[in-house]
């Protein structure tokens, strides 16, 4: 490895870590918080026992053959049955 290559690598490794991952050619982030979204609270239609039962029935970390769609449908069916 020649000296020019070694110096270049050392300069790249010594860059400020706070700047790591910044795309200088990309769009700049908005500085204004005026466009933030406020999501209102939504009451849970299930009582505490039903929430515990749902958590025992459907684990978001369990294996799925359908990328979690089957888990979503199972949870949706449970909530529909307990709120109708």
Count the domains in the chain.
1
Asked whether residue 36 is assigned to any structural domain, the reply reads no
Residues 82 and 46 sit within 8 Å (Cβ to Cβ) = yes
d(CA 55, CA 23): 41
Q: Which domain holds residue 61?
A: 43-84
Asked whether residue 81 is assigned to any structural domain, the reply reads yes
Average confidence (pLDDT) over 42-57: 93
Closest among 49, 48, 68 to 58, alpha carbons compared: 68
pTM for this entry:
0.53
To which H or E segment does residue 15 belong? Answer: none
pLDDT digits (tens, 9 = 90+) for 8-49: 666 666 556 666 677 778 877 666 656 678 889 999 999 999
Q: Which residue shows structure tokens 């199972």?
A: 74
Average confidence (pLDDT) over 63-77: 93
Q: Which residue shows structure tokens 């300069």?
A: 11
């Amino acid at each position: 490895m020649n000296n020019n290559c070694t110096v270049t690598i050392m300069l790249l490794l010594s860059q400020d870590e706070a700047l790591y991952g910044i795309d200088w050619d990309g769009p700049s982030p908005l500085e204004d918080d005026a466009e933030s979204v406020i999501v209102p609270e939504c009451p849970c239609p299930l009582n505490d026992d039903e929430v515990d039962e749902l958590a025992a029935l459907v684990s978001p970390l369990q294996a799925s053959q359908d990328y979690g769609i089957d888990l979503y449908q199972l949870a949706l069916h449970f909530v529909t049955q307990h709120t109708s």
